[in-house]
Amino acid sequence: MNRLFGAKSNAPKPSLNSAISNVDTRIESIDVKLAKLNGELTVYQQRLAKMRDGPGKTAIKQKALKVLQQRKMYESQRDQLQQQSWNMEQAGMMQDNLKNTMVTVDAMKSTTKELRKQYGKVNIDQIERLQDEMADLMDMGNDIQESISRSYDVPEDVDEAELDAELEALGEEVALEGIGESESMPGFLMDETAPPQFIDEPPEPAKVKEAAG
């Protein structure tokens, strides 16, 4: 069987980049051959321009036509190879885009799985109960603050006219007490440094020294 169909090759399959590189190498080789043929054609054209009609010119012309035929063949082959290289480059770009798309899809899948796992731990009913409990606690706190700040033994309905009359009466009492205190002030509250009221004139300094001597 191996003689008919050949042995199975264990060589690694060429990649797309290596195939493109091989085609580009072939294109470069053809460009070298075309440059050589163009040089020969230039020489033949120069010789034909200087020669007169005759067998020699006909022979040179035949050679020029042969070189021109080869050039057309190489140009056609180069065009085919260039098209092949472009097609493979497009395939490579599509392959890269597909790889990037698959990476993006895998990332989205893993993210979705993780989100489902995280959201699965969240209990909406429990959150609602927590919100209700917080609202109840806030109401309870407001009630406590209102109860603490409540005033004692003060009637809520107070007549402003009665308050004004009481305030005026307190003012009169304070005024009467002030007058009584000023008329009967105790002696110990008087200024001790003040001179006695029965002295008409202050003593003279000479008499004070004689009394002291």
Name the residue range of residue 101's domain: 16-148+163-177
Residue 9, CA distances (Å) to 2, 12, 19, 91, 170 in order: 11, 8, 18, 25, 123
Flag whether 205 is in a domain: no
Flag whether 51 is in a domain: yes
CA nearest to 69, candidates 51, 47, 44: 44
Flag whether 211 is in a domain: no
**What is the SS3 assignment for 54?**
coil
Q: Which residues contact 77 (CB under 8 A, 6 or more apart)?
A: 30
Flag whether 36 is in a domain: yes
Flag whether 24 is in a domain: yes
Q: Enumerate residue ranges in the chain where pLDDT < 70.
A: 1-11, 150-159, 174-213
Flag whether 183 is in a domain: no
pLDDT the model gives residue 162 = 76
pLDDT the model gives residue 188 = 46
pLDDT the model gives residue 69 = 92
**What is the SS3 assignment for 10?**
coil
Flag whether 188 is in a domain: no
* Alpha-carbon span 118 to 116, nearest angstrom: 5
Q: Give the 3-state secondary structure percentages of the chain, helix then strand then coil, rounded to 5.
A: 75, 0, 25
Q: Note whether 30 and 78 are within 8 A (CB).
A: yes
Q: Look at the chain and report how many structural domains it folds into.
A: 1
Flag whether 23 is in a domain: yes
